[in-house]
Structure 1
């Protein structure tokens, strides 16, 4: 990367209330009246100009640098869906899944480089809300009849939510993709539901 730069300078007042003459660096002059140490004297003057190779001064973003951006991205908070959609029944497992997006693309500027980060949900932790704690899966689940994540409850009221672990790849100015060296997590909003106890009741079909 090559840039054209104009280097300018102007003297400042030193602690002893003197400054260096910009026309003769060997000469020290008293500062003008009213100026304090650190104040500038005179106008900016061009010292040099030209084209400079600044590639070593601004290398492409490293994986660690991209990871620091990745951790701050507004990744989706995946919503927990459950079936039955209302109250559940003891003896009938509750099905969990999410229909929220499990991939997301972000484009960020890092020191003038265009970095595209492709985030993907890699692990799903279903917090069931009861003593069993968690169910871990590598897929987002699915509704009936293709369910992959389900849990049986005793009667009661439960609050469940989903923690997602995100990984990512990134490109820099259209380069080949590379892995972001780390993961981050998001917690989805909680969902509360009741699980009811079904009781058989004998009835007279002729009534």
Structure 2
């Protein structure tokens, strides 16, 4: 996924985590599919930390990319093995990332630390050469405060108070055996939520994608992609034998999201809600001879 967001951060005091100190910088820039960082270091406990606080005259700059982005860049596809989850302590953002670095021109030196020769007159700190892939690891990027990832947005999406859609049926009240029962819902099938995720304004547009009508009898379920319509334009019908039945509707919700007004992106997953049940009787109609002159 390409990220094209520049996140302005307020300066903060130095923070320490697992013996690795860093200071949050005032600006974080994102290149397509990657997060740039001025410095990456490893703590005594083995955890990697990225920040934009570099030592004096740093020899490298860094970028951190999701493995799937690197695989797609190099091989034109994303392998299933490119997905894994990193444990994140409370208040920390730790992601599975590929670490790459690029040489920078050193002060008062005609070369870089790795012996690359820059263009004549290149100022100290000028990038030289391409990106060298270093390692893949779980890297703490809290200090960079990157925009919320799709996975992070999905975790919020799962907790949203999505509506529980009502099941409507016709005929209202009791049905008749031999006469199909019509199902539909007239509840709203879209909803917009605005949430704050680490200081970013995230707008989530939820929409119903699938409707599972639990009929309450042995035939099971009816699955549709539309919410149905009432008579005479009905699209969802079910035949019942006489008896008492309880039906309800399960809705599968998908969503898109924006971050600080960015282009919409898909939330990578769905969630479901169950609507309240509705109970009705289906009666057996019997013909009775009558005298039309009575």
**Alignment pair present for 1:68 and 2:41:** no
TM-score by length of 2: 0.55
Pair 205,174 (structure 1): closer, same or farther in 2 beyond 3 Å: same
Over the aligned positions, Cα root-mean-square deviation in angstroms equals 1.6
Does 2:88 match 1:81? no
- For residues 140-192 of structure 1, the C-alpha deviation after alignment (integer angstroms, 9 at most, x for no partner) is 00000010001000000000000000000000000000000000000000000
**Displacement of 1:54:** 5.1
1:104-127 CA-to-partner distances (Å, cap 9, x unmatched) read: 000000000000000000000000
Query: Residue in 2 aligned with 1:4?
Result: 11
2:14–2:24 contact (8 Å) kept in structure 1: no
Task: Specify whether residues 132 and 51 from structure 1 end up closer, same or farther in structure 2 by C-alpha distance, changes over 3 A only.
Answer: closer
- C-alpha distance in 1 between matches for 2:157 and 2:258: 13
SS of 1:181's equivalent in the other structure is coil
Per the TM alignment, residue 3 of structure 1 is displaced from its structure 2 partner at its CA by 2.2
In the TM superposition, what is the alpha-carbon distance from 1:206 to its structure 2 partner? 1.5
CA 1:51–1:204: 2 relative to 1, 3 Å: closer
5+ residue gaps, structure 1: 9-49
CA distance in 1 between counterparts of 2:185 and 2:155 reads 27
Aligned to 2:264: 177
Task: Give the distance between the partners of 1:139 and 1:203, measured in 2 at CA.
Answer: 44
Query: Which residue of structure 2 lines up, in the alignment, with residue 140 of structure 1?
Result: 227
The aligned counterpart of 1:159 is: 246
Aligned to 1:36: none
Unpaired segments ≥5 residues, structure 2: 1-7, 16-22, 29-36, 38-143
Matches within 5 A, 1:90-169: 90-169=177-256
Number of matched pairs: 166
Instruction: Measure how far apart 1:131 and its partner are.
Output: 0.2
Match of residue 276 from structure 2: 189
SS at match of 2:232: coil
Higher relative contact order (CA 8 A, sep 6+): 1
Q: 2: distance between equivalents of 1:6 and 1:79? A: 52
Instruction: Say which one has the larger Rg.
Output: 1
Shift of 1:205: 1.2
Instruction: Specify the alignment match of 1:45 in structure 2.
Output: none
